[in-house]
Chains A and B, each alone.
Chain A
């Protein structure tokens, strides 16, 4: 259960509802591509220290919302706050430094870097990463500490034996694991996973789910996009349903499973007039 169990028990099950301690608050965010309204979210708050899953049919705007929140795309209007600080117009790399790190639907492993290098490149506050610091800085001590942390993390994700292999030689599932481990090297408060289980075999899915729960238990906030309802039911503290760019329902998993709007959205049934 949540690192703060039961914190969402008394929250109303309606779209845009306020949470007791939101780490991320979104208001009036709109993004259209030509005539297509890809994202139009009136209000959405993400509770700190929980696992929130974002579900919805293909084209519902989930990934676009991720892109907007992390600075990879820019909305026509709207604003959102991370820990109370406005994030509108903040470039993607700064969003990561502020503590919100995302992964990608199509895994982006740095193929011609080794697995260990993939991890080290993500570590924060390495003085050797500046030009002059790289030439003259005393970065080796920091490097050794980062390396120790990276190896511990790789061990946890079962990749430590691959540390010196090129990331490009990993299997698809291992790359998913590496991408998640690498994102954690940034020490984010919020980690946003875009379909972390896609194309991953059932055994590995179980282990990925274990890792995600563990993150929450360490106090991190996890937001993830997922299509598999069984997975969503198993792991989420809260589920947000998107359809046609907007949030149509939110609530605990059991509540969502019984929600008619959700069933309609997934099955594509339209009763009467729907926007």
Chain B
């Protein structure tokens, strides 16, 4: 068992490309769920719409930068279309409608009917050359010892954490404004907000749209890294990962999604590394094989999430005092 290797790999994951992508995605969901109280179970749809909007634009001869704009606009439109009929519903109905909408959209994208545009289940590849060609970093490995990244990864990480910083500043400005206070009031009690003259529906729609646009940024960022979009990447599991990240970090906190994502990926890789080594060393008496790691990881993450909801529902960094109040 090489503990140092396992720890370093986990550390690399905590600051790596997926961690930045999930931090972005979770910041969008946090605006909807953590601040506004919207139970959006279709967050993955905005990631998909962003990624596909960008990929299709490039595929059709547009530039990558135009693709980014298209992706964001499409995510805003998705939020609008999804919000208008559903935001008058009770929270649990919103959850059902959004999860269904996400799946419907994925099935449409992978259908043969949409193939001329989306290239069906094979998806679209190599649309982000423009970004990777801009990489000013000389070829090589950067870091210390095993904690190293190649020049391509460093370039993508710079984009990712740069985006995380910009979005975090945007969220900081937004959530500390009277607008942010109003959406928190709506989260606490819609009727009270209505009785005080707040256009609850309008605020919820704005929150859904802006959160969706941030989700689209995350989707586009992941797609730029992978140079690949396929419909079956965008399964509901991505939404639940984003929820795990938000809850881990503390819903309704500014930095929660970022720390949540780093911890999520650290634990994810730690578990992976540990299980792989343990199976190799025969610690499980041959009960498990390497192919079982995925399912076991899910089971353990599920248990972890349950433990979190029972003992620390405010997240690892949320305020305990605030959560006590919630129980009243």
Bound form: Cα–Cα A169–B323 in Å: 11
Inside 8 A of B180's CB, which chain A residues have their CB? 134
Q: Which of B103-111, B194-202, B280-288 contacts A (4 or more CB under 8 A)?
A: B194-202
Are B184 and A112 within 8 A (Cβ)?
A: yes
Are A103 and B195 within 8 A (Cβ)?
A: yes
Are A120 and B206 within 8 A (Cβ)?
A: no
**Residues B141-177 near A (CB distance < 8 A):** 170, 173-174, 177
Picked from B174, B197, B206, B325, the residue with its CB within 8 Å of the CB of A112 is: B325
Task: Answer whether residue A117 sits at the interface, using C-beta atoms and an 8 A cutoff.
Answer: yes
Are B195 and A96 within 8 A (Cβ)?
A: yes
With A117-B181, A131-B179: A110-B189 Cβ-Cβ less than 8 Å: yes
Are B192 and A124 within 8 A (Cβ)?
A: no
Are A121 and B195 within 8 A (Cβ)?
A: no
Q: Mark A110-130 against chain B: 1 for CB-CB distance below 8 A, else 0.
A: 111100011011101010111
Bound form: Cα–Cα A107–B173 in Å: 31
Are B177 and A121 within 8 A (Cβ)?
A: no
Are A113 and B210 within 8 A (Cβ)?
A: no
Task: Answer whether residue B227 sits at the interface, using C-beta atoms and an 8 A cutoff.
Answer: no
Inside 8 A of A182's CB, which chain B residues have their CB? 196
**What is the distance, in angstroms, from B324's C-beta to the closest C-beta of chain A?**
8
Interface size on A, residues (CB 8 A): 42
Number of A-B contacts (CB under 8 A): 116
With A93-B199, A96-B195, A102-B195: A128-B326 Cβ-Cβ less than 8 Å: no
Task: Answer whether residue A157 sits at the interface, using C-beta atoms and an 8 A cutoff.
Answer: no
Task: Answer whether residue B2 sits at the interface, using C-beta atoms and an 8 A cutoff.
Answer: no
Bound form: Cα–Cα A101–B322 in Å: 28
Inside 8 A of A103's CB, which chain B residues have their CB? 195
**What is the distance, in angstroms, from B140's C-beta to the closest C-beta of chain A?**
40
With A104-B195, A112-B325: A128-B188 Cβ-Cβ less than 8 Å: no
**Residues A83-111 near B (CB distance < 8 A):** 91-94, 96-97, 101-104, 108-111
Chain B residues close to A by CB (< 8 Å): 170, 173-174, 177-182, 184-185, 187-189, 191-200, 206, 210, 252, 321-322, 325-326, 328
Cβ-closest 8 pairs across A and B: A134-B179, A134-B177, A168-B325, A96-B197, A128-B178, A108-B192, A110-B188, A122-B196
12 further interface pairs, Cβ-Cβ under 8 Å (given A108-B195, A112-B184, A135-B170): A93-B198, A93-B199, A96-B194, A112-B188, A113-B181, A118-B185, A120-B178, A128-B177, A133-B177, A137-B177, A166-B322, A169-B325
